[in-house]
Structures are given as C-alpha cells and as structure tokens.
Amino acid sequence: MTTPSTDIMDDDRRTVRLAEHLAFSSSFQPLFNEGMTLVDETAVYLDGPGRSEAKQLSKVASTLYAAESMRLTTRLMQIASWLLLQRAANQGDMSRAQVEAEKRKVRLESFHSKNDTALFNELPEGFRDLVDRAHKLERRIAMLDREIYGGLQVRSADAPNPVGEQLALLKTAFHA
C-alpha cells in the first residue's frame, strides 16, 4: 500500500508540463520561426519604409517614433536571446542549468510602450503593427518562461538599479 505522500510524488513525476514540453521539443520551432521572422521584418521595415515614413511625422510624433523604435528593437533582441537560448537547450548544446544561468540576462516585459497615448495613433500603421506583434510575442514568451523556470525573480538589494544607472548616465552626459 502506498502512502498519500508517495502518491503525490508519483503524480508530480507523471505530470506533463505543457510549456516545458513546448520549449524542449520540436513544437518549439514554430515559435522560434515566428520570433526570428518578426526580428527580420522589423529590421527591414525600420531600414526601409519606416525611415521614410518617420521623416513625414511631426516633431513630437517623430520623437515618440524614435523612442518606440528603440524600445521595439530592445524588446526584439531580448526575445531573440530567449529564443536562441531555448533552441540551444532544445538541441542539446546547453544544459537546462546553463540556460537558466544565461537567461538571467534576458529581460522580458520590461520595456513599456507609450501606445496608450493618443499620439501613438499618429505613428505609421506598419510600425504600430510591429509594436503590437512584438508585445504579444513577448507576453507569450514571458508566460512560457514563468511556467518553465518559475516566477519572477526578486531583485536583490545589491543588484544594479536600471533606473539609477540611466540617471547616472544622464548626469554624466549633462555634467550635472
């Protein structure tokens, strides 16, 4: 006869974690392709049509476009980093422990967009579409990440404060 605690342990070993199965199986390839395609599409857009469309914007909208472009490219680089780490684990090039150590450098859902402002609607439709798709993909990947590797990590007191770092850079730049 088994004890209740033994039954629970057996159930945990038999539990299929769908997010983990997705990230560590051939089912991961469509997500990887989607992310890398979005990175490529964004690069082509920003270097081509986006550049000429941005020149036609008002000064204020142009400033928002520049800021959102930086957020978008940063977001996509974080997504690409996560996807490449998962692919390396999926292909056996990295252990799960190595991926966990490296993915601490990846920040998902940390670059908020100003798409809730009325001015955001003045930006080119193609650009807004890329921002929207990147947000949706980032949320999906962040959800997968939390399901696979656990909840959000609590920042320790001695960890660098990204806002503080940016303020220090600004002070240095403006000699304040």
Query: CATH code at 38?
Result: 1.10.8.930
Show the domain range for 144. Answer: 17-173
Query: How many other C-beta atoms lie within 10 A of the C-beta of residue 112?
Result: 10
What pLDDT is attached to residue 106? 86
pLDDT at 152: 45
Report the domain count for the chain: 1
Print the SS3 string covering 115-162. Answer: CCCHHHHHCCHHHHHHHHHHHHHHHHHHHHHHHHHCCCCCCCCCCCCH
Domain membership flag for residue 155: yes
The answer as to whether 2 is a domain residue is no
Do the domain assignments include residue 82?
Answer: yes
Closest to 100 in 3D by CA, of 87, 85, 90: 85
Q: What is the pLDDT along the chain (176 residues), one digit of tens a residue?
A: 445 444 444 445 554 444 455 555 667 889 999 999 999 999 999 999 999 999 999 999 999 999 999 999 999 999 999 999 988 888 889 887 888 888 888 888 765 666 667 789 999 999 999 999 999 999 999 988 888 777 544 444 455 666 666 666 666 666 65
Q: Give the pTM.
A: 0.70
In the chain, the amino acid numbered 163 is: V
